[in-house]
Structure 1
Amino acid sequence: MKKIFLIALFLVGAFTVEAQELKWYTDVKEAVTVSNKEKKPMLLFFTGSDWCGWCIRLQNEVLKTEEFKKWASGNVVLVELDYPRRTAQTPELKNQNSELQQAFGIQGFPTIYFTSAESKDGKVNFKGLGQTGYVAGGPSAWLAVAEGIVHPKKI
């Protein structure tokens, strides 16, 4: 009986953890659709996931924390634009990410760009809200910067 109870408890816990995971889009057109439907700006995370030390640090110190997950789920649509060196990507994904890197003038990693967008005649028009990168001080320091960009106080 104890074994059945423990297995059931484990399965419930596994589903709960899974439900708390955030959805990171890699297809920008899909993310634009979701962003417009949910009326939330997009958080574009320009990263070198398998080689950029500051990107990995930002992931571990902020983007994988419960504090960030709670904030992000209510405030932004997440988009990961990855530029790996050792991980294969489809030509379409590489091309999309390269075009976005040029369009946003990204020169270093990690860069996080907050934007809203709309699709017209098959083209996406972005409206930049602001950008940031790694911010020392953990999730609360990073979220203070992000909150100031996403919800600026009107004077």
Structure 2
Amino acid sequence: MSDYDSRRYADDAAALNNLNAAIVEEFRSNGGKVGGPFEGSTLVLLHTTGAKTGKQRMSPLAYVTIDGRNYIVGSFAGAPKDPAWVHNLRANPRARIEIGTDEYDVQARELPHDERDVVYAALAEMVPTFAAYQAATTRVIPLFELVRV
């Protein structure tokens, strides 16, 4: 994942929605591949149930595979708050994902702090942008493992 001016999206919902819509369209048109700042990244479309509304939500996210396990990162580009999808998964950890041209149900498991610290260190080594995001915030950026059900 290349570095780009991602922090502005944490406070601009309309810009984030427009960016996400473009990513989703490109993802689905190209079998899960996208260009621009996410070229070469592994992306997943995460379908969650809104914690407050109960409505279906979708978020395109980078994911990282470590030791055969898929992880998503609640970085929100180092913003001081968690992204909405984190709250949704905490309220309802059953989700659906699209990876490439595959789509299936998952159970999201938030990593406890000790496990999170070990995995985050490995993840940040693989994708240095995530180290920068953690350095930019005082909150502990959550990690979720996506377990196929």
Q: What TM-score does the superposition give when structure 1 sets the normalisation length? A: 0.28
Radius of gyration: which is bigger? Answer: 1
Q: What TM-score does the superposition give when structure 2 sets the normalisation length? A: 0.28
